[in-house]
Structure 1
Amino acid sequence: MTSFIVVAAIIAAIALGYKTRINIGLFAIAFAYLIGCFVMGLSPSEVIGMWPLKMFFIIFAVCLFYSFAIVNGTLEKLSEHLLYRCRNVPHLLPYAIFFTSALIAAMGAGYYTVLAFMAPITLMLCEKTRMSLIIGAMSVNYGALGGANFVSSQSGIIFRSLMVNSGIAEEVAFINSFGIFASTMLIPLAVITVLVFFTGHRKSMQGASLGVSLPTAFNQQQKTTLWLTLLMMALVLMAPIAHLIFPDSATATFINSKMDIGLIASVFSVIALLLKLGDERKAMASVPWSTLIMICGVGMLISIAIKAGTIDMLASWIGTNIPTSLVPLAFGVVAALMSLFSSTLGVVTPALFPIVPSIAGNLGLDPMIIFICIVAGAQATSISPFSSGGSLMLGACPNEEARSGLFSQLLFRAAPIGIVAALIFSIVLTFFF
């Protein structure tokens, strides 16, 4: 009975958050308290202890450091330079938008931040060059998603933390996260290539002018920020990769055991402040607090679900009612449907990732394949106007007429294209790897 109450609470939190526009995490915290203390008999301290403190610290520390590149204009200047390089090949503009968004997101801007300043630029370029709104919207959305999935960026860190909290070893979680990143870069490239070269897009843009002027050079503050960001990314990646290559090396093992991306980011934040790379108050304000509350609040409610046995019950049902070969695909479909109306980071992955280890173990599947299918499915529909990506794209429209036209294109063309691409990829991944 408790499990059904928990499931109802998760659905209610999502529905209430969507309806009232109040952070889903706040509803999740309230439900976690009411169910944990008054239904399951837990103490308030036990419920508070379910707040995912380590995940909160890592996301906060990393976002704080990366916010300096946002505050001092480094990432915006980088996007201007990258788009300028594509001025003579207008039909390749979707690739330029995709890789620009991906690079900036991978360097720490995060999905929402990249869309916030790349979406208006993309829509403006669509108007100037006759580029399809669908191709432009999917390019910037896919790029922001794929880049943010990089193992040292915001989404990649969240995925790793969720896997570790679900019982996956740190090293395996790192490999799984890299698999998610690689997959969410391959799918968009395939989709964009089909849209550019097989739909008449190239012909319609021939001779178009991007009208992108030569951007000004990076100032000293921005150059320092860029190099500091690259250095931190290198440090975060080198230790686990060295340990994977040299598993018997005592030195590599020792160094890797002392590496923590949250603590490293904290040190680099202090360095950034000492070098005066940005205002501390503005950097703090740039931290995505609402995303943090949503992820951690839902994490508390999921912990209640685990304590109540809901996760094990759901895993058992899936394991006995769905053919083994179709389990990854089923997860992808469920994730895609959930993501139509909710956040991949705040709702879909916190809800589905904890189920994966037990199902994979019982059915003899590679957990990485299921993790990839979940993220690919969830991110396929993030372009929906009811989800985060689509709503940000609509918000960037210059007027109501443009917004109305883009709404139907995102819902009836972009989202279905994304779903079909993700499902095809999931089928190929399941049956051939």
Structure 2
Amino acid sequence: MLVSLFYNFALVNGTLEKLSQALLYRCRKAPKLLPFAIFLAATLIASLGAGYFTVMASLAPITLLLCEKTGMNKIVGAVSVNYGALAGANFMTSASGIIFRGLIEDAGLADSAFACSTNIFVATMIIPILVISGLVLFSKSWNEFGENLEIKEPEPLNHKQRSNLYLIVSMVAIALAAPVLHSIFPDNKVIAFINSKIDIGLIAIVLSVVALLLKLADEKEVIAKVPWNTLIMICGVGMLISVAIKAGTIDILSGWVEANMPSFLIPIVMCIVAGIMSFFSSTLGVVCPALFPIIPSLAAATGIKAKVLFTCVVIGSQATSISPFSSGGSLILGSCATEEDRAEMFPKLMFRAVPMCLAASTVMSIIISTILG
């Protein structure tokens, strides 16, 4: 919540919007790179703290409009912006990344939480690049592209926006410095002590106070944009899972999986199961809180590294977030200009985007389990 509060200053005062516009503007003379520019713009904004839903709500309409102007396949645009919002939010200091770290710590693996969240972020950056590259190569609509894109040059950052950007860079630097140094120098006691005492919530609230004193944005709007519903859902599901752990349900489930499934299939099955669950539900609010507590027991019983299973769950669940019944797909449908566009987009998301993204994540889960497992 504190991290979301801090990043909302940049959202309210327009810092994130100008950064995304600047990135798209740089791509205006290379239209075939537009999907990658959309992906990177969404990734940048989400990684700077805007969060998945905010990025989708702000960039999805722009993306579909660009598709209309340039002739780019709308599925390519939808997949690009959705993947970018997911990957950026998975960054270690952004909204989803922090939640993943917290869930991993709650599962009893606090020492490896940062490394696991880093693996998740890297995997969710690699998959989109490969998928978007494939779509660009095989999409028939690319021959219709013009020489240039009609994207207006954004205005320079004003004083408040520059100050906010400096605070964001400081936040990321402070939050990542200790974990990265600890990974490089694991035996250094001073670094290990500092790393154990770093609290990203404390950093966020201190920088939020600085932003408030500098009057970088209206505090009422900043507080109003905190995703209370998602936070309450995560807390509720976490409480339910804690009861299941105390009752022994998680041990029974992990024991059943261990006894009835070959070890090499477990990462793939976890990926697919997470994808099926996320088809109708939330990755952060339902899928990960439900599946993460099983992973330490499975890892201990099968010898598969926990970071592999955590990563497979996330890439599987986020693959189907573009489903019309899930968050990403519904936001894309809501961004369509007309009812006809919405009716045309629905089956494309359902029967093209979802199977393609889930297949890519399944293949990636095989690669990850082979390399890291």
TM-score for both structures, normalised by structure 2? 0.98
Q: Do structure 1's residue 388 and structure 2's residue 324 form an aligned pair?
A: no
d(CA) in 2 for partners of 1:254 and 1:365? 29
Superposed, 1:7-406 pairs within 5 Å as 60-170=1-111, 172-205=112-145, 207-406=146-345
Contact 1:295 1:347 in 2 (8 A): yes
SS of the aligned residue for 1:104 comes to helix
d(CA) in 2 for partners of 1:117 and 1:248? 45
Listed one character per residue, the Cα deviations across residues 46-76 of structure 1 (whole Å, up to 9, x for unaligned) are xxxxxxxxxxxxxx11000000000111101
d(CA) in 1 for partners of 2:167 and 2:115? 25
CA drift of 1:312 comes to 0.9
Q: Kindly provide the amino acid, as one letter, of the partner of residue 120 in structure 2.
A: I
Contact 1:86 1:93 in 2 (8 A): yes
Aligned to 1:15: none
Contact 1:384 1:411 in 2 (8 A): yes
d(CA) in 2 for partners of 1:199 and 1:404? 21
RMSD: 1.0
d(CA) in 2 for partners of 1:192 and 1:122? 14
CA drift of 1:251 comes to 2.6
CA drift of 1:200 comes to 3.3
Q: Kindly provide the amino acid, as one letter, of the partner of residue 204 in structure 2.
A: A
In the alignment of these two chains, the number of paired residues is: 372
Q: Kindly provide the amino acid, as one letter, of the partner of residue 196 in structure 1.
A: V
Listed one character per residue, the Cα deviations across residues 284-326 of structure 1 (whole Å, up to 9, x for unaligned) are 1011111101111111111111111111111111111110000
Contact 2:108 2:296 in 1 (8 A): yes
Contact 1:385 1:411 in 2 (8 A): yes
SS of the aligned residue for 2:187 comes to coil
CA drift of 1:86 comes to 0.4
Contact 2:73 2:139 in 1 (8 A): no
Q: Is 240-249 or 140-149 further displaced after alignment?
A: 240-249
Contact 2:92 2:98 in 1 (8 A): yes
CA drift of 1:257 comes to 2.2
SS of the aligned residue for 1:131 comes to coil
SS of the aligned residue for 2:132 comes to helix
d(CA) in 2 for partners of 1:395 and 1:92? 25
d(CA) in 1 for partners of 2:131 and 2:313? 18
Please say which structure displays the higher CA radius of gyration.
1
Contact 1:128 1:209 in 2 (8 A): no
CA drift of 1:280 comes to 1.4
Contact 1:91 1:201 in 2 (8 A): no
d(CA) in 1 for partners of 2:260 and 2:144? 49
Aligned to 1:4: none
Listed one character per residue, the Cα deviations across residues 349-387 of structure 1 (whole Å, up to 9, x for unaligned) are 000000000010011110111111101100110000000
CA drift of 1:249 comes to 2.4
Q: Is 420-429 or 138-147 further displaced after alignment?
A: 420-429
TM-score for both structures, normalised by structure 1? 0.85
CA drift of 1:209 comes to 3.6
Contact 1:195 1:201 in 2 (8 A): no
Contact 1:383 1:390 in 2 (8 A): yes
CA drift of 1:202 comes to 3.4
Listed one character per residue, the Cα deviations across residues 236-262 of structure 1 (whole Å, up to 9, x for unaligned) are 000111122122323312321221001
SS of the aligned residue for 1:126 comes to helix
CA drift of 1:281 comes to 1.2
**Residue ranges of structure 1 left out of the alignment (5+ in a row):** 1-59
d(CA) in 1 for partners of 2:249 and 2:301? 17
CA drift of 1:188 comes to 0.4
d(CA) in 1 for partners of 2:158 and 2:32? 31
% of aligned pairs identical? 57
Q: Kindly provide the amino acid, as one letter, of the partner of residue 231 in structure 2.
A: L
CA drift of 1:208 comes to 4.8
Contact 1:129 1:208 in 2 (8 A): no
Q: Kindly provide the amino acid, as one letter, of the partner of residue 272 in structure 1.
A: A
Q: Kindly provide the amino acid, as one letter, of the partner of residue 141 in structure 1.
A: N
Structure 1 stretches of 4+ moved >6 Å: none
d(CA) in 1 for partners of 2:84 and 2:159? 28
SS of the aligned residue for 2:181 comes to helix
d(CA) in 2 for partners of 1:254 and 1:351? 32
d(CA) in 1 for partners of 2:30 and 2:197? 46
